[in-house]
Structure 1
């Protein structure tokens, strides 16, 4: 008679339900949910703290001086635009605003165009000369602004460019190039060289490859550079104060100092002037937010 086959104990387990989470997993995920909730709460609190002063500035710009004196934290009884008219026309705020727009936009466009060409050449070249040139650009990031003002002033004075918007544009463009080249070179190096080889096989020249193939791929980087250079140039007070002597050439930061001195008793006009100075920055961030986030997070998953 054959020996009986050994019996194997049967262990019964519960069938896994689709979407079910083990007990250990739930206990491990719960602290992460609490941390995410706390982080979200802190970010919303920070956003509220940052937005409340801006909202008060906008609301107070529509109020009269009498309303502000009687109730500083109240709401406007009606939308009064007299403060904006006084700031724009009577206080010559339109002149300061136009000067800032011309100087900032022109200098940012000029520095970005030069930096794109330089960054592309530096990223695709492996020669020692290009490496040395790149180090020169990077060293410009470590140069303090205050140490350069004396030679810059004498240089512009020799070229008869002091107290002109052209001189101020050239200074801002030159100061912005090191940072722009540093950022754009990093982005160009992340692009595969096979794209250029394919374009070269199709008969594209260097300029065609740069304009049609490479430039669209670094658009987030370009948006990041534009925003990060637009804001400091728009808010800069030091260079216009030293290099501009004619009041009709003042930019917004310098013009605001005289603006505050003349209209320090008209609070509604002051708030209106601040709103006008803030509008371009807000519009820029609203338009370029998606590109900025894409540019700052590019390469984090590699």
Structure 2
């Protein structure tokens, strides 16, 4: 009885905590967007104040839109981010299904080996990665970034998805096998639909670091044809003079796709985060 009564309370507290966390995270975003439509003097004179008719100025957006290549930077970021998410979810889900469904010698060691990437940053291997990309002639290509980001996101994807896949009923999967479904059909038609909250969680946690990354685009794809939006925003930052109106406008435009995707996945994300916390 007590346990049944405490579950709604725990769920309410969890949703309240997530709401407060979301507000805290959105505060800097709101500050950037607010200052992007203010004059330079207002940005430094009253950065925490909203724009007024006297301080309202869209010169930053005019500068960014006038920079013709900036739209291509957005396209490059979309290609790299969406391509990486697709590969991370596909390969991560397949590996997680194999580890959670099939028992074989070395299963636990294989899972630990795949999870090492969570503890060891991929940036430690930057020089080796650059040498590999140079040898395979993939420098200044979208594929180079997609491959690196896929390798970066797989450990966390496998770790999260394997835990959720272990919760899928074995009786349900065995019944599907008796009905003649293949392992691929069970994976795509039965298991994946049941773990959609986990997939949304992995997609969000994979998407944000890729979209905001500056390190690998600067090293592997600094060319104009493959430059991402985060790297493209650096054109407004000089050694002695920085166009802060343009920088804030560029960052505001870069934030919008992430907010849209976050809102699309938010419901599934909350379900995924609270699935194991409330019993």
User: Kindly tell me: are residues 161 and 67 of structure 1, through their superposed partners in 2, closer, same or farther at Cα, counting changes over 3 Å?
Assistant: same
Conserved in 1, the CA contact under 8 Å of 2:37 and 2:51?
A: no
User: Kindly tell me: are residues 239 and 70 of structure 1, through their superposed partners in 2, closer, same or farther at Cα, counting changes over 3 Å?
Assistant: closer
Q: 2-side partners of 1:176 and 1:286: how far apart? A: 21
Q: 1-side partners of 2:62 and 2:268: how far apart? A: 35
Q: Which residue of 2 aligns with 1:286?
A: 263
How many angstroms does 1:216 deviate by? Answer: 0.6
Matches within 5 A, 1:220-231: 220-231=197-208
Q: What count of residue pairs does the alignment treat as equivalent?
A: 263
Q: 2-side partners of 1:69 and 1:124: how far apart? A: 57
Conserved in 2, the CA contact under 8 Å of 1:58 and 1:272?
A: yes
Bigger Rg, structure 1 or 2: 1
How many angstroms does 1:81 deviate by? Answer: 4.7
Matches within 5 A, 1:18-57: 50-57=25-32
Conserved in 2, the CA contact under 8 Å of 1:91 and 1:259?
A: no
Q: Which residue of 1 aligns with 2:165?
A: 188
Question: Which stretch has the larger CA shift, 145-154 or 47-56?
Answer: 47-56
Q: Spell out structure 1 runs of 4+ moving beyond 6 A.
A: none
TM value normalised by structure 2: 0.82
Q: 2-side partners of 1:195 and 1:47: how far apart? A: 36
Conserved in 2, the CA contact under 8 Å of 1:62 and 1:76?
A: no
Q: 1-side partners of 2:163 and 2:25: how far apart? A: 32
Q: Which residue of 2 aligns with 1:17?
A: none
| Runs of at least 5 residues in structure 2 that lack an aligned partner in the other structure | 1-8
How many angstroms does 1:254 deviate by? Answer: 2.1
Q: Which residue of 1 aligns with 2:143?
A: 166
Does residue 95 in structure 1 map to residue 72 in structure 2? yes
TM value normalised by structure 1: 0.77
